[in-house]
Amino acid sequence: MTESVSRIVEGLRDAGFNINPVRASALWQVDGRGPMSTAQLIDLASKLQISQSRTH
């Protein structure tokens, strides 16, 4: 896992998401959302950041 992906995963975990890598796969298991690709995690993190910036 690259450093940038690690930061995205940790940021989502800090926001309350439970994320785990899927064995023998490039996917991530996100509780309540199912398996997601790294690109989908990036999109989720981006949407979370946008929603948080609108509430402040």
Contact (Cβ atoms closer than 8 angstroms) between residue 30 and residue 36: yes
Question: Please, which pLDDT band fits residue 56 given cuts at 50, 70 and 90?
Answer: low
Segment 11-40, tens digit of pLDDT = 999 999 999 999 999 999 999 999 999 999
Domain segments of the chain as ranges: 3-55
The closest of 33, 35, 40 to 8, measured between CA atoms, is 40
Report pLDDT for 16. 95
Report pLDDT for 1. 67
Report pLDDT for 24. 93
Distance CA 38, CA 28 (A): 7
For range 47-53, the mean pLDDT: 87
